[in-house]
Structure 1
């Protein structure tokens, strides 16, 4: 379970003259997420990624409190990170080893100290995720979808309770989106996923609509996606500001 209690996030920003100012990224977010699949949708810059990064302490709340299974990521980050796995938009931002096998072995290093056992466990994890044929292939030779699936396998290797996925299908073609969607469908863990893929969002149990740092709608995914489409159509139809 993930709880946001009157959470606000404020960061420093700078104008072209180098003058500092405060920018509000999230404002007064109060939520309790218990559903197995939660989608977070909204325009670029709306605050979706910030909302997700609060869960495992990649960002800290300026006001209010975030709790993950009763633990505060800002004070109990080590314990929370054992429970929460994070899948990034670009898998190459988190793949650092030469091959998928080495990547999964790296994820297991803290929990499986025996090298032979770690090797066998990594192979089993790749096989369970349909990636055993890629075990010793260079990560640079993998497709975008294969890389994202390897990233997910690395996250699952540490057996988290919660998986956070930040726009994971953004760089993927249709086939690879389908592969990743099926992998998400098979998860036992709670999944919280920010996405521009409205079809993926529609498959979830609950959806949140974020706009300008506020949760403006929350409920059944079909209804929330419909609201978002209508809102974006209205903005697309609005005349652009004419500048002299």
Structure 2
């Protein structure tokens, strides 16, 4: 896999700089991006996915610009949002699963057949006509992941994938993710979820603070978060 390249990447909105000066080559199979809330993690994932355009610099995913080449991006990269409610668009399970395949150019008939085959393979054939509103939070997360997997991207971006899940659901999602052959780029503020990553990237205030193996970066991050917590450094207004 050629990987993902960030060249002097920056992003600003409403006059506020959210990311600046990122130069990274991402080619490991398991990458974690950590940082406090507001550090720019989710914005970075949206830039890599091509959902927004950089304000400065460039992103390439397996050789293409994901913002300008949306069809190419759909073949190369998928994203799983923190809240499945922000990702689900259709009322039934089969419609939701078929949508991405239709976006890739598959006919409605073929997309539905592929969807039903996939559900049957997962022991969920009876889900096809089910209303998405009847699913639990963990089941909705599974549905969103399955929709991404059906599109067979080379890289999957995960935005806090365990947020809002109970422990059994976390165990199920973890087991499924660990078995995937795709490159996974996971963002989190929880160091425990990054412990098995080959590479950990720490963002602080939209800039690269540290980059390296988990056993080097995570102890630094944990110590700094403990220091900040002890200082009660949240009295200033956000402005």
Task: Please indicate, yes or no, whether the TM-score normalized by the shorter chain is above 0.5.
Answer: yes
Aligned to 1:137: 130
Aligned to 2:75: 82
Deviation (angstroms), 1:53? 0.7
Deviation (angstroms), 1:79? 1.5
Aligned to 2:107: 113
Q: Distance in 1 between matches of 2:96 and 2:232?
A: 49
| Equivalent residue runs for 1:1-244 within 5 Å | 1-12=3-14, 22-110=15-103, 111-113=105-107, 115=109, 117-129=110-122, 131-240=124-233
Q: Report the number of matched residues.
A: 233
Q: Deviation per CA, 1:46-69, whole angstroms, max 9, x where unpaired?
A: 000111111121122111111111
- Alignment RMSD: 1.9
Alignment check: 8 A CA contact 1:7 1:64 kept: yes
Q: Deviation per CA, 1:166-214, whole angstroms, max 9, x where unpaired?
A: 1121121111111111111121111111123432211222111111001
Deviation (angstroms), 1:77? 3.1
Aligned to 1:15: none
Deviation (angstroms), 1:107? 2.4
Alignment check: 8 A CA contact 1:209 1:224 kept: yes
Q: TM-score, normalised by structure 1?
A: 0.88
Deviation (angstroms), 1:132? 3.7
Aligned to 1:17: none
Unmatched tracts of structure 1, length 5 or more: 13-21
Q: Distance in 2 between matches of 1:219 and 1:76?
A: 31
4+ residue stretches of structure 1 with deviation over 6 A? Answer: none
Deviation (angstroms), 1:160? 1.0
Unmatched tracts of structure 2, length 5 or more: none
Q: Distance in 2 between matches of 1:228 and 1:139?
A: 38
